[in-house]
Amino acid sequence: MEASFVQTTMALGLSSKKASSRNVAVERKNLITVCRFSVKTLLEKYTAEPIDDSSEEFVNFAAILEQILSHRFKACAPAGPVSWFSSDGQRGFWDYIRLACSKVPNNCVSSIENMENISTARAKGRAWIRVALMEKRMSEYITTALRDTRTTRRFYDSGAIMLRDEATILTGMLIGLSAIDFSFCLKGEVLDGKTPVVIDYTPYLKFTQSPYLPLVTDEDSWYSKWHKMEQKFRIVYAQKGYLEELVRLRESQLKDLEAENRRLQLQLEEAAAQNQREKRELEGVILELQEQLTGLIPSDHAPLAQGSKELTTPLVNQWPSLGTLNGAEGASNSKLYRRHSFMSTEPLSAEASLSSDSQRLGEGTRDEEPWGPIGSSEPN
C-alpha cells in the first residue's frame, strides 16, 4: 500500500514538473512572438519624426521588453514567490544589466546610476531601456550581457529566456531598431517605478478581411507573399542602416588611431633629434676637457703637451725603430728606449732629444744597469 502511494506521488511530481516546463516554454514562445510583432509595428509606423513615450507602439514594446528581461528572474518578494507576469517581479533586472553590461565600451550604466530623480531599480531599468534605444545600441547591450554566462545564470532561473536560444533571436530582432530615431524625457510617472507594466495584446489579435476579395483565391496568396516579402525587405533595410552606421563608427575610430600613431611617430622623431643634440653636446664637452688637460701639463714637457692634443688617436707604440738612428751611436744608446708604450714622437726633434739624453746618460751609466727613466739620478 505504501509502495503504491509513493509511486503515485512520484508520478504526480513528474507530471507536475513536465507541466511546469511546458508552461515555461509556452511563456517564452509567447513573449518572443509578441516582441517580434511589436518590433515590426514600430518599423512600420516609423516616419521622419522621432518616436517618444507618447507612441502607443513604443509603450507596448517597452512593456514587452521588461517582461522578457524579468522572465524567470531570481527576485525575492516580501510576500512570497511571484509569477513571471506580476508587477512585483519587474524590479531587479537592472541589477543584472548593471553588472553584465559594464564591459560595453562607453556604456550608459554609470550615468543612469548617478541620476538624481531615479532611485528605484525598476525606474533605472526603464531609463536604461530608453537610453539604449536613443543610443541605438540595445542589441549590443543584450549581446554583451549574454556573453557573461556566469552572471546570467546567477540572476535567472533555469528556463528563462535569457538562458535559452530565444535570447539570440531577441538580439537579432533588436538590431532593426537601430534604424529608428527615439527621443525620450527621463522624468515623469513612466520612470517612477510605481506604474505597473501591462502588455496590450489587442493590436496583434486583430484580423481584417478585405470585402473586395474572396475568402481563398490565388490573388490572396500572392498578396500575402508580397506582404511577407515587403516585411522582410523592411527588416533587411533597417539592418543595412545599422551596419552602415557601425561601419562609419569603425572608420572614425580608425582615423583616431591613425592620428594617434602619427603623434607618437612625431614624438619618436623629436626624441631621436634630442638624442643627437645631446650627443653633440657631450662630444663638445669631451673636447673642452681635453683642451683643459693640455693646459694643465707643465711647460717642461712641451712634447707631451703637444701629444695630448692627439688623444683621439690610439695610444700604441709609435717610437721609430732603432734602424732609423745613425750607426753605432743608435745601437750604443738603445738602453734609452723603454719597454712601455709612448705616444707619437712626430712633433719632437729626434736628433736633439737623443743627443742630449745620451750625454747625460754617458756620465753615470753602467753596462749591467737596466733601462730606466731618462735623467734619473745615479745610484748611491
Residue 315 lies in a domain: yes
Residue 43 lies in a domain: yes
Among candidate residues 195, 34, 65, the one with its CA nearest the CA of residue 130 = 65
Our measurement of the distance from residue 213's CA atom to the centroid of its chain's CA atoms, rounded to an integer in Å, reads 59
Residue 248 lies in a domain: no
Domain end among 193, 208, 223: 208
What's the pLDDT at 44?
A: 84
Residues 191 and 321 in one domain: no
CA-to-CA distance for 177 and 68, rounded, in angstroms? 17
Residue 36 lies in a domain: yes
Residue 286 lies in a domain: no
**What residues make up the domain containing 134?**
20-208
Residue 103 lies in a domain: yes
- Is 147 exposed, middle or buried (CB count within 10 Å of its CB: 0-12, 13-18, 19+)? exposed
Residues 306 and 199 in one domain: no
Which residues 6+ apart lie within 8 Å of 95 measured at CB?
121, 155
Domain end among 189, 208, 227: 208
Residues 189 and 61 in one domain: yes
Residues 51 and 190 in one domain: yes
Better-predicted residue by pLDDT, 42 or 195: 42
Least confident of 38-52, 74-88, 149-163, 269-283: 74-88
Which residues 6+ apart lie within 8 Å of 15 measured at CB?
none
User: Which of 147-151, 207-211, 307-311, 320-324 has maximum average pLDDT?
Assistant: 147-151
Amino acid at 209: Q
What's the pLDDT at 219?
A: 60
Residues 180 and 58 in one domain: yes
Domain end among 174, 208, 242: 208
Amino acid at 229: M
Amino acid at 143: T
Tell me: the pLDDT tens digits for 213-247?
A: 344 445 667 778 888 888 888 888 888 888 898 89
Rounded to an integer, the average pLDDT of 324-336 is: 45
Residues 138 and 36 in one domain: yes
CA-to-CA distance for 288 and 286, rounded, in angstroms? 5
- What's 190's domain CATH number? 1.20.58.900
Tell me: the pLDDT tens digits for 260-291?
A: 999 999 999 999 999 999 999 999 999 999 98
What's the pLDDT at 224?
A: 81
Tell me: the pLDDT tens digits for 307-322?
A: 555 544 444 444 444 4
User: For the chain, what is the mean pLDDT?
Assistant: 74
Grid coordinates in use for 224? 500575402
Among candidate residues 126, 134, 59, the one with its CA nearest the CA of residue 97 = 126
Grid coordinates in use for 172? 537579432
Across 59-84, b (16+ Cβ under 10 Å) vs e yields bbbbbbbbbbbbbbbebeeeeeebeb
What's the pLDDT at 18?
A: 73
Residue 59 lies in a domain: yes
Say how many domains are in the chain.
2
Residue 92 lies in a domain: yes
* Structure confidence at residue 9 as a pLDDT band (50, 70, 90): low
Count of alpha carbons within 13 Å of 162, Cβ hemisphere only?
31
Please give the DSSP secondary-structure letter assigned to residue 106: T
